[in-house]
Amino acid sequence: MTSDAATPLAAELIGIDKEFYGVKANDNVNFLLERGQVHALLGENGAGKSTLCSILAGLYRPDSGEMHISGAPVLFKSPKDALAAGVGMVYQHFRLVANLTVAENLALGHPGLDVRLNQKELQQAATELGQRYGLPVDASARIWQLSVGEQQRVEILKLLYRDAQILILDEPTAVLTPQESKVLFKTMRQLAEEGRSIIFVSHKLDEVKQISDQVTVLRDGKTVGGVATADAEPKDLARMMVGRDLELPTRKPSEDIGSVMLGVSDIHVQSDRGLEAVRGMTLDVHEGEVVGIAGVSGNGQRELAQGLVGLRPLTSGSVELDGVDITHMSVLSRIRAGCGYVPQSRLGMGLAPGLTTEENLALKAFRRPPYSKSRRLVASAFRDNGEREIKEYDIRGVRPGLPIRLLSGGNLQKALVGREVEMSPKVMILRSPTRGLDVGATEAVRNQILEQREKGVAVLLISEDLDELMALSDRLLVIYEGEVVGEMPTEDATAERLGLLMAGQREGAS
């Protein structure tokens, strides 16, 4: 460390504690940020990275602990105070007002502006700032018109427009293609060279190795250690992060792929805004095969999944399940025909938050015996089957009679996947099944998916996580703006090749 009295640290967090509903999200965390550096904050989901960042950005108040910015003690009551002290954050879920323009989002809350807003001047300033930092955006566009990558640029511009000296980027690469990530890294370097300090939150080791100067690892809300990136071996970092050596299950190639179980031909589906989100997709999933759908979020994933399970009408095209045309079937008929679905939002779409775990586990089967007999529900069936499934799918933290929403994300997902598996589906459609889960739960869910494949279930895995797709899929399709732009066996896929396709560049087009 080169800190001395003349150059104080950009930020110093000492002994930070923060508790949420009895769970210690941060437990005596220490974090030192040097000026002009990219400092990676590494840890699993739920390790307390986002909480720590939100405290530094003034969104949460720590229960105890001290913060210093440029050597001076600070107490942030709100993000406003943090921004005034030069600390800004790009949240994982962007904090942009969708109905406002890019320029308006930059101006929002800026204390140095005139009372009268001059749209033209604002737009010009935004455009110039974008050019200087390699973050081009259309300043007059409204946020909802922009892609996720563009929205992220707006978030960074927002901080630069305030001249933030400390920029916190919470998992910024999660929504980017590998190529877009590279561009972002270049901007991050440029900012660090200007003397700004950057906190880069990630759980991806290779990215941390590639971009950061310094790494701090968090585990279970505690600081595990801090090292210079140059001195750190990826596998050491992994052990610090997880607390044990880890090996995630991967698929073994299989020869015995059966007949077409899910046949989708030329379907078109509209988004909530009435725009064409799926524009003529055709794909097959065979018995005992996992087909992965790769793509940057917002390219028709939601509409594709909802169209296939019947939650959203198809404007044209047809869907067959095991040779039966299910195009015009209701959701219930599709479930009975053998269509399983694990949606992205676990609570709300997947599970009923206010019902108990036992009731949720029976949510698709309750209309029939043993759960109901002559139109009456059988309480003992709920209890007995519930107990069995809770044990079988290792759902932890269940307290009888209490709503399922009290469970952690990993246990919710185990319950959701377990319920679908119990229905013995012929086809399973999953969206980002391990998003936000810790390593243990990820392992359980992946094993379950592979087990279903062994049983001959046709699995359609729609995910934004390339590692997950490559680990589980037999075959990969890449979608861009609602169309399939590439298809390959997983053996032929590389992150670069997928990344180009995900960015909309068709192979052999030029």
Q: Considering the complex, state which of residue 72 and residue 98 has its C-beta at the smaller distance from another protein.
A: 98
- Asked if 211 contacts 190 with a C-beta cutoff of 8 angstroms, the reply is no
**Residue 80 in contact with another protein, rule: CB under 8 A:** yes
Q: Which is nearer to another protein, 58 or 433 (CB)?
A: 58
Binding of another protein by 347 (CB under 8 A): no
- Structure-block tokens of residue 380: 């003992």
Assess 110 for contact with another protein (CB under 8 A). Answer: yes
- What is the Cα–Cα distance from 492 to 508, expressed in whole angstroms? 16
Task: Report in angstroms how near the CB of residue 107 gets to another protein at its nearest.
Answer: 6
Rounded to a whole number of angstroms, the minimum distance from the CB of residue 237 to another protein is: 27
Among positions 270-289, residues that touch another protein (CB under 8 A) are 273-274
Question: Which of 27, 66, 113, 311 forms a contact with another protein (CB under 8 A)?
Answer: 113
User: Which residue of 107, 191, 296, 498 would you call a contact of another protein, by CB under 8 A?
Assistant: 107
Residue 117 engages another protein in binding (rule: CB under 8 A): yes
Min dist. Cβ of residue 164 to another protein (A): 11
84 binds another protein (CB under 8 A): yes
Q: Give min distance, CB of 57 to another protein, in A.
A: 8
Pick from 474, 472, 456, 489: nearest CA to 322 = 456
Stretch touching another protein by CB under 8 A, among 64-72, 103-111, 171-179, 219-227:
103-111
The token duo for 145 is 């018109």
Q: Indicate if the alpha-carbon torsion angle 80, 85, 89, 94 is positive or negative.
A: positive
Give dist(CA 241, CA 265) in Å, integer. Answer: 44
Q: What is the DSSP string of 30-86?
A: EEEE-TT-EEEEE--TTSSHHHHHHHHTTSS--SEEEEEETTEEE--SSHHHHHHTT
- Does 99 participate in binding another protein (rule CB under 8 A)? yes
Under the binding rule (CB under 8 A), the answer on residue 115 touching another protein is: yes
Residue with tokens 């940020």: 33
Size of the site for another protein (CB under 8 A): 33
Residue 427: burial class (beta carbons within 10 Å; 0-12, 13-18, 19+): buried
In this structure, what are the phi and psi dihedrals at residue 215, rounded to the nearest 5 degrees? Answer: -125, 135
Q: Of 98-106, 220-228, 282-290, 420-428, which segment contacts another protein by CB under 8 A?
A: 98-106
Q: Which of 24, 30, 32, 100 binds another protein (CB under 8 A)?
A: 100
Residue 457, Cβ density class (10 Å: 0-12 exposed, 13-18 middle, ≥19 buried): buried
For position 95 contacting another protein by CB under 8 A, the verdict is yes
- The region of 9-17, 75-83, 307-315, 479-487 touching another protein under the rule CB under 8 A is 75-83
Residue 447: closest CA among 250, 274, 262, 261 = 250
Nearest CB to another protein, comparing residues 65 and 225:
65
Our finding on whether 83 is near another protein (CB under 8 A) is yes
> Contacts with another protein in 12-31 (CB under 8 A)?
20
C-alpha 418/C-alpha 393 separation (Å) is: 6
Q: Determine the interface stretch with another protein among 114-122, 199-207, 295-303, 479-487 (rule: CB under 8 A).
A: 114-122
**Cβ neighbours around 66 below 10 Å, total:** 14
Q: Output the smallest distance, CB 77 to another protein, in A.
A: 10
Joined tokens for residue 206:
């290779």
> Residue 100 and residue 107: Cα distance in Å, rounded?
10
Which span (79-87, 134-142, 279-287, 425-433) binds another protein, by CB under 8 A?
79-87
Q: Whole-angstrom Cα distance, residue 447 to residue 90?
A: 34
Q: Which of residues 127-166 bind another protein (CB under 8 A)?
A: 158
Q: Which of 11, 45, 48, 104 binds another protein (CB under 8 A)?
A: 104
Q: Give which of 324, 305, 318 is closest to 265, Cα–Cα.
A: 318
Check if the beta carbon of residue 347 is closer than 8 Å to that of residue 436: no
- Binder among 72, 97, 377, 402 for another protein (CB under 8 A): 97
Q: How far is the CB of 156 from another protein (least distance, A)?
A: 13
User: Exposed, middle or buried by CB within 10 Å (0-12, 13-18, 19+), for 353?
Assistant: middle
Segment interacting with another protein, rule: CB under 8 A, options 39-47, 100-108, 224-232, 373-381: 100-108
Q: What is the rounded CA–CA span in Å between residue 134 and residue 182?
A: 12
User: Residues 235-274: x/- map of binding to another protein (CB under 8 A)?
Assistant: --------------------------------------xx
User: Residues 51 to 70: which contact another protein by CB under 8 A?
Assistant: 57, 59-60
| Residue numbers at the binding site for another protein (CB under 8 A) | 20, 57, 59-60, 78-80, 83-84, 89, 91, 94-100, 104-105, 107-111, 113-117, 158, 273-274
